Amino acid sequence: MIARADALVHLPATLDFAAGATLPCAGVTAWNALVGQGQMLAGQTVLTLGTGGVSIFALQFAKAHGARVIITSSSDEKLARARELGADEGINYKTTPDWERRVFELTQKTGADQIIELGGAGTLQKSLDAVRYGGRISLIGVLTGFEGLVNPWPVIARSVTLQGIYVGSRVQFEQMNRAIVQNGIQPVLDRTFAFEDAPAAFEHMAAGAHFGKIVVSGS
Ligand SMILES: NC(=O)c1ccc[n+]([C@@H]2O[C@H](COP(=O)([O-])OP(=O)(O)OC[C@H]3O[C@@H](n4cnc5c(N)ncnc54)[C@H](OP(=O)(O)O)[C@@H]3O)[C@@H](O)[C@H]2O)c1
């Protein structure tokens, strides 16, 4: 394809094309939230929701910056895999529906410094109850949908920074790629499907059985 040179970035030397294909949306979004806008510091506690593409990148980038990571999932098996990737704490949001309380317990009743908010209307109130005073919530996803009531009072009372994230910039993409190479980060590929099997890839995603990214390969 022909594209403007400033619309492209180099594939990190440590990644193949399948791994590189996971970066432009999920990777850059997690990077922008935590590092670009989030200005993450070592020692912070990051809470990230679920074990999909964005959340697993957030886990990897937060650990590379020396943060403590709490991750949620509907599956204990997936939480165990997240721990293998460095997650410090895992909470099953099915068996612990009031996971925001657990986050408070795990942070000595202060709350998380940064939250990767992927659930949308169904989880935002809980995230507002799980964030620390002066903390930051990156609004990224709407896995539970758009509709719902949210009480904005905790945003005020806790001086929360509530920031919308829509992917990120090319400069951030290049910064992220350098960090990926320096830290030996490999995107987590759940499964790779042949192009002819793309419908099965979408079914796999819809089933929510994946951990990290799903790749549809062109060759
Ligand atoms: N703003 C942006 O620029 C941007 C960029 C990329 C993606 N997004 C959005 O961000 C969201 C996540 O994207 P993704 O690519 O990471 O999706 P994904 O790979 O499909 O992640 C789905 C995972 O989210 C978890 N999940 C589902 N419902 C949940 C709930 N109620 N509470 C907590 N976790 C829940 C599940 O994890 P478990 O199986 O572990 O339970 C599920 O496997 C989507 O809404 C997507 O549209 C936004």
Q: Cα(116) to centroid of ligand 1, in Å?
A: 10
Q: pTM for this structure? A: 0.97
Name which residue sits closest to atom 2 of ligand 1, judged by CA: 166
How confident is the model at residue 142, as a pLDDT? 92
pLDDT score of 165? 98
In the predicted model, what is the mean pLDDT of residues 112-137?
97
Q: Which of 54, 144, 166 to mutate to test the pocket of ligand 1 (most atoms within 8 A of CB)?
A: 54
pLDDT at 6: 87
Pairwise CA distance, residues 112 & 124, whole Å: 14
Q: Over 80: is that where the pLDDT of 216 sits?
A: yes
Instruction: Write down the architecture of domain 17-190 according to CATH.
Output: 3-Layer(aba) Sandwich (3.40)
User: DSSP 3-state assignment of 88?
Assistant: coil
> How far does residue 1's CA lie from ligand 1's centre (Å)?
30
In this prediction, residue 3 carries a pLDDT of 92
80-85's contacts with Cβ under 8 Å and 24+ in sequence apart are 81/51, 81/211, 82/51, 82/56, 85/56, 85/59, 85/60, 85/188
Looking at residue 1, what is its pLDDT? Answer: 85
Residues in contact with ligand 1 (CB, 6 Å cut-off)? 25-26, 29, 49-55, 72-75, 78, 93, 118-119, 122-123, 140-144, 165-167, 205, 208
What tens digit of pLDDT does each residue of 169-198 get? 999 999 999 999 999 999 999 999 999 999
